Structure 1
Amino acid sequence: MTSPAARTALDLTADLPLPALEDLYRDLHRHPELSSREHRTAAALADRFRTAGFDTVTGVGGTGVVGVLLNGDGPTVLLRADMDALPVVEKTGLSYASEKSGVMHACGHDLHVTWLAGAADALAAGRDTWNGTLLVLGQPAEETGEGAAAMVNDHLYQRFPVPDVLLAQHAAPGPAGLYAHSPGLIMSASTDVDIVVHGVGGHGSRPEATVDPVVTAAYIVTRLQTVVAREVAARESAVLTVGRIEAGTRHNIIPSEAYIALNLRTQSAEVRERMLAAIRRIVAGECAAAGCPREPTVTVGGSFPVTVNDIDTDRRVAAVHGEVFGAGTVLDFGPVMGSEDFPFLAEDGIPYAYWFVTSTPADVWEAAGAESGGDLMEQLAAVPSNHSPHFAPDLGTVGPGVRTLVSGALEMLSVR
């Protein structure tokens, strides 16, 4: 038997204006905006909210947008979409490829905005079918980890109703038509670490008169590869990435400093602290071994929290998605190493559900399958992933992505 939320969601999304939504997506993709600069995107989303009947406020936490629809007594539900693009040179070859040099929607946030706009329209048009308060939120600066916290710090929950539950979703690689839920931990924490190695610079012809920070940095990078392999238990998941190493200005000049930028992905505070301690120890040890004139500088920078779904909320949303999309469409592939700032919106323990919508076009997925010889993990690794210059979600996911939000919202609201 289909639940009232699933039946109502199917009714409200039966006649989605797909051509108009696809046009919105193409327009957003052509005009990507970097974190905290999403002025055009925010204006377009705010216009959609106002037209649908939401009381709408812009400029929340910088460029954030909030729409509120009061619809009688009942729960308060917040739907969120992130809006920012990335400093990536697009190589998709799409007819609607980015028109902004060096900036691309390589993570699907343009699709997220389109999904939210469509859901806001459908739920507002069908307000006679549910009771409660609906908040729709366009969030800036997810990629830098600053946007959600900025909105909360801009008195989000003093200026607008406090939600009983938060819902969000993300486009992901995989054959279009699947919806990935994980009750509990679904995404990892991320921590940036910056290292400065202080050496003694000089002429390349007289290395004996210097302390070469480049060589020391190379030893550090090599030794750091043992942190996960030898200091994190096999039952734990962790990743350490050296994202940048930089030093010097000329071929024959030994520089006085070298810079190393790291990123850690962890799924527990204990593992994070163990890795940070190992990094500090290794960096200090290699610098001491090289005879560096002063101790290295190790700075722990920006971080994203773990994303941990409320078990009951996620199971309810997953169940209604299974009803809307059919058997075999909802799966749990466990926690991933990617990170999100969405949990910063969950102030004071507001429960939330966060899920993935697979979006790889069928022809791309099938071609990757032929190349991989049928191995699923190799096939998944072969298709363009988020942050790839070739990332191009299937336009056919526009409608389903609206339905996931609509059905999830109705499951949490009071359906008549």
Structure 2
Amino acid sequence: MTTPGADRPTRVLVLDHTGELGGAELALVRLCHALGPEVDVRVLLFSDGPLVERLRAAGVATEVLALDRRTATTSRESVGRASLSQLVSLLRLVPFSWALARRVQGLRPDVVHTTSLKADLLGVVPARWARSALVWHVHDRIADDYLPSRVARVFRWAAARFPDAVIVNSEATASTLPVGTTVAYPGFGAGQDLAGPRPPLPAGRSGPVVGMIGRISRTKGQLELVRAARTVLDRHPAAVFRVVGEPSFGAEEYADQVRAEAERLGVADHVTWVGFVADPSTELDGFDVCVHASPVPEPFGQVVVEAMIREVPVVAARAGGVVEILAGPPGEPALGLLVEPGDEESLAQGILAVLDAPGEARDRAVRAAVVARRRYSAARTAEVVSGVWLRAAGRAR
């Protein structure tokens, strides 16, 4: 075997179960853009979707080996419930796992890098058969308040036995795993940052804009936002709430619940459902405040970083990786306003604190941008991740 890093770059094969554009997938695209010549990355996805073209546009060789759609789209909650349908799904994995193992062996990677919970587990046998180092990139807190307890228990057991190295997206995620990890914060791309001072808010608006960006899901807090809207509107009756994102992974019922709650509370006329946007920068530039209201601790919170680098004031739930993101330098105040998770009154008061004191909010947002640009660039992420790959490939020889 030729030594990686001597006569050739280290070959890395990334496995992901989805072709959709979730937070981890967008972070993968930015990572690939920022990688240096010491690594040669190829991506194999288990389903087609817009991620394929995003990666190819970034110059990354990408292919799809289709997993049965019913298995690929199974939610974390349903995996935690034993049923006949789940047993059938497991049986469908047998021919797929065989095909995956053969393809991985044919590509002969030095490192197999898995970047979703399904890919983590499905990548174990192919990596071992190909005699490749296995690196898990964990983007989820492996905790009972974030995953079904059965899933979390199995994953923690597997994490201690199978991967050669584990990368996590925050200290909050690291604290839920029983093994040593390397923290690589998801980085923002150069095109996401402001080219100069923050552009002025659009003229002629009827009132302040309170925005939330992210997949519509019980773990993201859209329900808490529409409940907080009632209190905010009592003081700022012209305020507008923009909900950017759409439901996925079976969250349509939750989306319907959020819309119904907005109607019940009489705030629906003030809520705009924007849907998915590929680049949130334009939306962020129109926000007076960006809200991150997850009722359970989030592993990271990329939209918080995206808001910070565009100098948008942030109000976020005090839990998980978001606390790390908004932590100021030692001895200095936080870079955003932190509120109690799952508490719509606390959320409303945080939003009002920004809207009632825009000058203070602006100064805080400018400080946040300086810190975020230093901490969370994709170039820094690439340096950390590629370092793990090179070390893992060296140990595997």
TM-score grouping bracket, smaller chain normalisation: under 0.3
Greater fraction of residues in helix? 2
Greater fraction of residues in strand? 1
Q: TM-score, normalised by structure 1?
A: 0.25
Q: TM-score, normalised by structure 2?
A: 0.26
